[in-house]
Structure 1
Amino acid sequence: MDRRTFLASLATVPLVTSSLPAVAAPAASPEVAPAAPKWPIAPKFYPTPVDVKAEIPVGTIIVVSDKFFLYHITAPGKAMRYGVAVGKAELKFRGQAVVGRKVEWPSWKPTPEMVQRSPSHYARYAETGMPGGPRNPLGARALYLYQNGRDTAIRIHGTTEPSSIGHAVSNGCLRMVNDHVIALYDTVEMGTPVTVY
């Protein structure tokens, strides 16, 4: 499915569905502060069930980079939509791939291109990288994207900078809030097709 067809399919159906009944918001109490948002991102980037064209294969992941949305097709005509951060303009990944590897708390090592572009940030990690853990820039989970059996060096991964969601800031990878990438990781199988527009 090409980008135009996919985007058209989104425009022809109501996107957001809800499994929760409509409830009137309670009146604000002057002595109770409003609850802080769960994630430091715009609510539109929270996980949201949406309707899509029924012919999109179940299990597929589709990323619409200029909208900062990742769609995981969960059933015919249904998807879970997440917010993502994408690559800077010159580094955006586009194309088709498959999930070729899945890792919990992945280790990280910058690519030679990253070191060359910004040695002050990345040179110290060029040899040994960084072990997985809460301070690792790949976050809690990573889905490694492969093309023709080869690692593309592009990942769908968590982040230590959740406020970057909804922005073009990365070195090409697709970042998600750690809670969201864990949910995606738990439902995505090896070999899942991924298309990034």
Structure 2
Amino acid sequence: MPWTFNTLTEWDEVWWDKLRPIYREAFPHGAKPEKVLRSMLDRGIASLHAGLQEGEAVAMAVTGFCGGKGRKRMILDYMAVRQDQRGQGLGRLFFSQIRDYAEREHQAEAIVIETEAEDTEMNRERLRFWIHCGFIATSYVHQYIWVPEPYRALYLPLSDHFTLRDDGKSLFRDITSFHHQSFRGQ
């Protein structure tokens, strides 16, 4: 199984044509519009990651950063594995390369994600996946004003000096700041 991991920091239409179907399949509702993703890369606030198996796109992710030196956190905005490729360990492999990128290229102290907090089987399955990847779930549940479902933050410490001093509410300040920055100028 030849596996390739690529990170793009500039918008590339050829790459997006390969990754768009995965993005749309995994996030049919509530995903950022393509023009917002393009703007995020054009403004240098996000990266687009691609996982390819035997040259075929099977995983994609969008990441960005918040905080400054000594407090840099990666926001994992979107990550998906093509539905017909799930259950083979590709999600964990792909995420491990994103984690390595955060540590090696950006010296991030943590990775932060948000997951749907409603108690459904799909959401429990996603939560199990992230916990299996090393994430710690917080108890705080955030309700955005623009989406109906509640969300929970999870974090993965990448350095010994990272500590969370609350129930997860502070992580949503970082996530919300990143979302606002994403839509700025749209």
Higher RCO (CA 8 Å, separation ≥ 6 residues): 1
Which structure dedicates a bigger proportion of its chain to helix?
Answer: 2
TM-score (norm 1): 0.26
Q: Which has the larger radius of gyration?
A: 1
TM-score (norm 2): 0.27
